[in-house]
């Protein structure tokens, strides 16, 4: 599953493979808890969290991994040391196994994102 046609995040989670559903649900719960004032939407076929109409965070179940999209370059730079050991693309953390998700790191990234607006790549 790369791009979903689900109308909302609940529908998206109902479509994901069973073995990933708990991890993706936990990511959603963290986003909802830490991103006060953000809107939860479906964008580009995945759950995303927008502030003032701009997506800053998203996640997705890809074919070979779970992606966590951190679209804020300032937050990525501030966390460069902690992100150095992660499987990371330009703006995406990739977790090949659900048990490898570092929820503490994700929570800290969400808190830094929520702290104030910044540049989105």
- Per-residue pLDDT of 3-58, as tens digits, reads 788 899 999 999 999 999 999 999 999 999 999 999 999 999 999 999 999 999 99
Q: How confident is the model at residue 2 (pLDDT cuts 50, 70, 90)?
A: low
Q: Determine the topology of domain 9-113 in CATH.
A: 3.90.1150
- Decide if pLDDT at 121 tops 60: yes
In the predicted model, what is the mean pLDDT of residues 91-98? 93
pLDDT at 52 (0 to 100): 94
Please tell me the predicted confidence (pLDDT) of residue 34. 98
pLDDT digits (tens, 9 = 90+) for 59-84: 999 999 999 999 999 999 999 999 99
- The neighbouring-strand residues paired with 72 are 120
Going by C-beta distance under 8 Å and a sequence separation of 6 or more, which residues neighbour residue 98?
Answer: 19, 20, 22, 23, 66
User: Is residue 1 predicted with pLDDT exceeding 70?
Assistant: no
What pLDDT sits at residue 117?
A: 87
CA distances for 33 relative to 3, 26, 30, 38, 88, angstroms: 25, 10, 5, 10, 24
Using alpha carbons, select from 93, 88, 98, 109 the residue that is nearest to residue 35: 109
| Among the listed residues 22, 43, 21, the one whose alpha carbon sits nearest the alpha carbon of residue 56 | 43
**What global pTM score does this model have?**
0.93
Q: Which residues contact 61 (CB under 8 A, 6 or more apart)?
A: 1, 16, 17, 20, 24, 67
């Amino acid at each position: 599953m790369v791009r979903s046609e689900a109308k909302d995040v609940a529908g998206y989670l109902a479509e994901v493979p069973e073995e990933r559903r708990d991890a993706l649900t936990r990511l959603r719960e963290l986003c909802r808890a830490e991103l006060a004032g953000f809107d939860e939407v479906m964008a580009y076929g995945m759950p995303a969290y927008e502030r003032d109409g701009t997506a800053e965070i998203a996640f997705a179940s890809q074919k070979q991994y779970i992606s966590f999209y951190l679209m804020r370059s300032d937050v990525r730079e501030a966390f460069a040391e902690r992100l150095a050991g992660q499987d990371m693309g330009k703006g995406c953390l990739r977790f090949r196994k659900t048990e490898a998700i570092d929820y503490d790191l994700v929570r800290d990234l969400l808190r830094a994102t929520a702290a104030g607006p910044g540049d989105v790549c």
